[in-house]
Amino acid sequence: MLFSSLIFLFVFLPSVILLYYISPRKLRNSVLLIFSLFFYGYGEPKYLIIMLLSIFVNYLMGLFVDKYRNEKKIARFIIFLSVFINLFIIGYYKYTNFIVKNINQIFNSSLPLLNIVMPIGISFFTFQGLSYVIDVYRGDGKVQRNPFNVALYISLFPQLIAGPIVRYETVAEQIDDRTESLEGFSYGVERFILGLSKKVLIANNVGFIADEIFKLQTSDLSVILAWIGIISYTAQIYFDFSGYSDMAIGLGHMFGFEFLENFNYPYISRSITEFWRRWHISLSTWFRDYVYIPLGGNRVSKSKFLRNIFIVWFLTGLWHGAAWNFILWGLYYGFILVLEKMFVGEYIEKLKRPFQHIYTMFFVIIGWLLFRSETISYAKDYLMAMFGIGGQGLISSQGIYYLIEYKYLFIIAIIASIPVYPAIQKRLDKMSNSWIKVLIIDYVKPFFIIALFLLCIMYLINSTFNPFIYFRF
């Protein structure tokens, strides 16, 4: 079930809100849990068993690690067992056939591929299960004796399928005791509609352009068409994923949860290091706190520091998908980050701001080409077409068509990718209660939010193109 589907917007969400708020407080977690399990099992009920298994295992591991936390060897073994089981679950469903394919290529063998279909959102709920056990061991959150509370944390529908990765320490207290308010609910509705608008009005439309261009042979691409295609995908993946995160955060607020931000306008960054402080924050901090720092972080020798960087970015790429282009994408960023930290960072800081932005976006766009391409050879050929090698020259009629036909869409995407809305909000907060502030907050803003929602509904009724990129992870 998609957040941006009519059945979610007009059947599922109103039902869960109604039952949640008419229920006694002690039953509200149960209402959320039941609806969350239904939400996950709606499309493929059989995969609900996998998530329930993950919940059961991590619930037991949490109890054991809390009981034996003072016996270091036993506690560490429990942590190892939890990591092994969770990674085995994700490894079996996500990477088995990838391993078989590579064995066949390396050894010229013909091992059969298994009939495995990856459960949706498995990368997210397994990482949250790991977060629970590790945070209990570290003392960053108290153990849950009630298995239904662990189930709610792992399966909570707002962030279940495509994140953000909600760490247990972030919501440990909120699971047991949280405060719902009209102000929080109103903010949640506003945030949800803004995220829905990012997804439906921008991501879906630029995604259509990107898909049409990436269907072409690279030999058919002009320079301008190749750049339009990859820039469209650059916009699509940001508005798709940040839109989903906005919707998840908004839904959380509707039920009294406060999830941490997952995106902070990454395309205004002035270095790749800054970009990764702003992009998919929940994943970056997860790998930092659960992998990079335990390995020693940067408080080790230079060789171990380099090892730590490349382990983290190898795993980051592998987490995104069982394909070599994802691994190369991760190592690509690891290499750039090492260059920035050790060699070129000080020179980048001396550049004028426009050049810093150009530098950052150039390498981000190349990174998204690796991410989007199904094979490394296609990425190479597409990159050559971007620079006029092996393609159809500089300009083509098709490229001009996309520029003219979708010029307003591209302008809106550019404006929406920079913090204009927060700047207006901040400016309003500083204003005294003048008639202008009252007019904007009480009349203009509600009208704007309602208009966006109605536009989204109109688009959803008339369109069949409504994927979520991160569902496959």
Active site residues per annotation: 320
Q: 171-205 in b/e burial notation, b at 16+ Cβ within 10 A? A: bbebbeebebeeebbeebbbbbbbbbbbbbbbbbb
Cα 56 to Cα 89: distance, rounded to the nearest angstrom: 13
Cα 198 to Cα 32: distance, rounded to the nearest angstrom: 26
Is the Cβ–Cβ distance between 215 and 281 less than 8 Å?
A: no
For residue 122 the two structure tokens come to 């498995």
Cα 265 to Cα 271: distance, rounded to the nearest angstrom: 13
State CA 373 to chain mean position distance: 19
For residue 230 the two structure tokens come to 């990859």
Helices 376-386 and 353-372: angle between axes, nearest 10 degrees: 140
Helices 168-176 and 122-138: angle between axes, nearest 10 degrees: 80
Q: Which residues does 398 contact at the CB level (< 8 Å), separation at least 6? A: 222, 225
The dihedrals phi and psi of 314, each to the nearest 5 degrees, come to -65, -45
